[in-house]
Amino acid sequence: MSIKLNAGIRNVAGKGAARAVRNNKNIPAVIYGENKSPVAIELDGRGFEMLIKQPGLRTKLFEIDVKEGKENAMLVDIQYHPVSDRVVHVDFKRIDVKKPVNVVVPVEIINAEISKGLKLGGVLNFAVRSVALVGLIESIPEKIQIDLADLNIGDSVHGSDLKLPTGIELGLRQENLAFATIGGKMAEEADAKKSASSEAASAAKSAPAKSTSKK
């Protein structure tokens, strides 16, 4: 579902003009891309500050209404004030909704509490926490989940194992990337080594001592 924004056009660019926008409790922004001239806009400050509390905004289609018409865009960057942490500038990139886009989304682990491998004493190595996806903006998910429920010690989840929505593909060179691994020794293997060590110790104790007397 797209997010609709109403924006005003900024006829004057520059730091002074942007400061004047912020003094009016609004946020300066720009829309660029698709071989068109950038458009300087201003957003309602209070409304946008509330909007960015929602998750997954960078995977959403923004329909921005300006004086000249509607702009389809994606949120690219938000700049914050270093002291107040207020939004001071926003960048949007135009997109063609009929063409695939490249987006990076977070990876989330689920069912760690019932994972077979973790219950056996394995250790989770969650090495890669975001994934690059390619597809139409309407099909891009907010996140990708890795289900640990059936993973055992020694199992790994690679890019090629990720469950992606229909029409969504991985970005380049991620198929063989290990996103999550459960490391450690299997309980059977640990018990076998412990048993072998105990048997060796018992054999050493029962072996006859070597004579050290000289003839």
Q: What is the pLDDT of residues 68-112, one digit of tens each?
A: 789 999 999 999 999 999 999 999 999 999 999 999 999 999 999
Helix (H) or strand (E) holding 48: helix 45-51
Residue 169 located in a structural domain: yes
- Please state whether beta strands 123-126 and 178-183 pair in parallel, antiparallel, or not at all (unpaired): antiparallel
7 with 90, same domain? yes
47 with 120, same domain? no
Point out the domain boundary residue: 94, 129, 154. Answer: 94
Q: Is the pLDDT of residue 37 over 60?
A: yes
Mean pLDDT over each residue of the chain, to the nearest integer: 88
12 with 90, same domain? yes
* CA 138/CA 76 separation, integer angstroms: 16
pLDDT of residue 25: 92
83 with 12, same domain? yes
Q: What is the pLDDT of residues 157-189, one digit of tens each?
A: 999 999 999 999 999 899 999 999 999 976 555
Q: How long is the chain?
A: 215
Q: What is the CATH number of the domain that holds 18?
A: 2.40.240.10
Q: Is the pLDDT of residue 137 over 90?
A: yes
Domain interval for residue 116: 101-187
Q: Summarize the confidence of residues 9-31 as an average pLDDT.
A: 88
* CA 48/CA 30 separation, integer angstroms: 14
- Partners of 6 in the β-ladder: 65
Q: Summarize the confidence of residues 178-202 as an average pLDDT.
A: 67
CB atoms near residue 149 (< 10 Å): 13
* CA 100/CA 31 separation, integer angstroms: 19
* CA 160/CA 183 separation, integer angstroms: 20
* Total domains, the chain: 2
**Maximal CA-CA distance, the chain:** 112
* 210 or 180, higher pLDDT: 180
Q: Summarize the confidence of residues 188-203 as an average pLDDT.
A: 53
pTM, entire model? 0.78
109 with 66, same domain? no
Residue 158 located in a structural domain: yes
pLDDT of residue 192: 52
Residue 83 identity: V
Instruction: State the pLDDT confidence band at 215, using cuts at 50, 70 and 90.
Output: very low
Residue 181 located in a structural domain: yes
117 with 85, same domain? no
* CA 38/CA 55 separation, integer angstroms: 27
90 with 7, same domain? yes
Q: What is the CATH number of the domain that holds 122?
A: 2.170.120.20
pLDDT of residue 12: 72
Q: Answer yes or no: are the C-beta atoms of 26 and 44 closer than 8 Å.
A: yes
109 with 58, same domain? no
105 with 35, same domain? no
Residue 122 located in a structural domain: yes
Point out the domain boundary residue: 48, 70, 94. Answer: 94
Instruction: State the pLDDT confidence band at 203, using cuts at 50, 70 and 90.
Output: low
18 with 63, same domain? yes
116 with 182, same domain? yes
Question: DSSP state, 21?
Answer: H
- Please state whether beta strands 130-135 and 156-158 pair in parallel, antiparallel, or not at all (unpaired): unpaired
- Which tokens is 48 given? 């946008």
pLDDT of residue 10: 85
